Amino acid sequence: MKKIVLLLATVLGLSLVSAVPAEAHRDYKRVAYFIQWGIYGRNFHVKDMDTSGAAAKLTHINYAFGFVNADSECYSADPWADWQRPVPAEQSVDGVADEPGQALNGNLNQLKKLKAKHPGLKVLISLGGWTGSKHFSDAVLTPESRAKLAKSCIDLWLRGNLPGTPDGTGAGVFDGIDLDWEWPGSEGAPGNVIRPEDKQNFTAFVAELRSQMRAYSRRAQLTAFLPAAAAKIDAGFEVAKVFGLLDFATIQGYDLHGSWDPITGHNGNLFTDRRDPNAVKFSVDQTVRDYLSRGAPARKIVVGVPAYGQGWTGVTDPGPRGDGLWQPATGPAPGKWAAGSEDYKDLAAKPGKRYRDVRTGSLWLYDGNEFWSYDDPASLTQKALYIRLRGLGGSMMWSIDQDDSTASLTTALYRVLR
């Protein structure tokens, strides 16, 4: 296996990576986010993770998102989706509909059924996200508020004391907590509260939450989602201390460029592109190096990968190489769910010429007007080999509903990281 992996690494342009024995690290994490709101317009349900084959190839599902308020309390962003909606038989993991009067319904009951079918699967509640991080800074401001927030999150999501239900109704659904504060000490969504002391307060909250979680259960897991940009890392995270308290952390390996940029670029390139004209040159490898140099242990770094693409329109100048890369655009390309964004399953069928650069681990589609940067099974195989050869902790996908009906992206990662 070692010779095969090293040979593939060379073929795929990974010769600059310091190879480690393939046998040295077996406990790979294969994480995917399940979005709470996907049951609506996207019509993607917990059952779909099972029927696609994805659930059998994952170690962790992060359920996105629970929110935090300024009073240091965890709360559900959508109780109807979480535990109130009666799930019909055709959407149920075991084919059995929720019955009238049962206490636990919705996604949480389906996740419980999924875990029963896949006993090794862990499910974590993710707190925050882009739209739910506004009050994190307020909630962790003092020792008292940090203790209150930790207790609230454990009571709600781990002990399962869901509002309007008997105590413990949701117990056994979640195996831990994932912190998705975007971002301590630096700008996230407009209107987020930001303080210079967020950096130290984040560490203090992780320590408090870890302490209370250990008192609840020694097996409960604690993870966090961390940013790609070095400036955001340094503004908000005491890396060595935080990693010492976490089971592992997932790092942002996407949105390195997007339709907010005036020129096209890579959504999640593995290595730095020498053609990149930007002053700051992003790549997955650079982000990994940034965390390692700040004291993160390699085995706790789980690399985020996208199941979607970033797209630009009005890219009428193909550039000197005719591929549209690093060329001016007029704005975000039309997308099914949001401008400038499209799911892998839709991009895979989109017409246009595709370009692949194994030196940077990138793929893009260009049709003379629209430019889409995304990952496919081949590019994710390259990233998985990188993770393996670097001795990193595994992969994380945002988000599982964007993979295709046969879990092609999930499968590509699983084949290497198992």
Cα atoms in the 13 Å half-sphere on the side-chain side of 203? 15
pLDDT value of residue 7: 37
**Mean pLDDT in residue range 260-264:** 98
Per-residue pLDDT reduced to its tens digit, 167-189: 999 999 999 999 999 999 999 99
Which amino acids are annotated catalytic? 182
Query: How many structural domains is the chain composed of?
Result: 1
* 39 found inside a domain: yes
**Mean pLDDT in residue range 399-413:** 98
pLDDT band at 125 (very low <50, low <70, confident <90, very high): very high
**Mean pLDDT in residue range 22-30:** 72
* 339 found inside a domain: no
pLDDT band at 20 (very low <50, low <70, confident <90, very high): very low
* 236 found inside a domain: yes
pLDDT value of residue 331: 98
Q: Are 333 and 311 in contact (CB under 8 A)?
A: yes
Per-residue pLDDT reduced to its tens digit, 267-319: 999 999 999 999 999 999 999 999 999 999 999 999 999 999 999 999 999 99
**Mean pLDDT in residue range 209-227:** 98
Q: Which domain holds residue 169?
A: 17-307+375-416
Rounded Cα distance between 156 and 188, Å, is 26
Q: Which residues pair with 64 in a beta bridge?
A: 35, 126
CATH number, domain of 153, equals: 3.20.20.80
Residue 69 has φ and ψ, to the nearest 5°, of: -105, 175
pLDDT above 90 as % of the chain:
94
**Mean pLDDT in residue range 18-26:** 50
* 329 found inside a domain: no
* 325 found inside a domain: no
* 367 found inside a domain: no
* 318 found inside a domain: no
Strand-strand pairing, 29-35 and 353-357: unpaired
pLDDT band at 6 (very low <50, low <70, confident <90, very high): low
pLDDT band at 3 (very low <50, low <70, confident <90, very high): very low
pLDDT band at 4 (very low <50, low <70, confident <90, very high): very low
pLDDT at 50 over 80: yes
Q: What is the secondary structure of 350-376 as a DSSP string?
A: --SEEEEETTTTEEEEE-SS-EEE---
Q: Are 198 and 236 in contact (CB under 8 A)?
A: yes
pLDDT band at 10 (very low <50, low <70, confident <90, very high): low
* 355 found inside a domain: no
Mean of all residue pLDDT scores within the chain: 95
What is the reported pTM? 0.95
Strand-strand pairing, 362-366 and 371-373: antiparallel
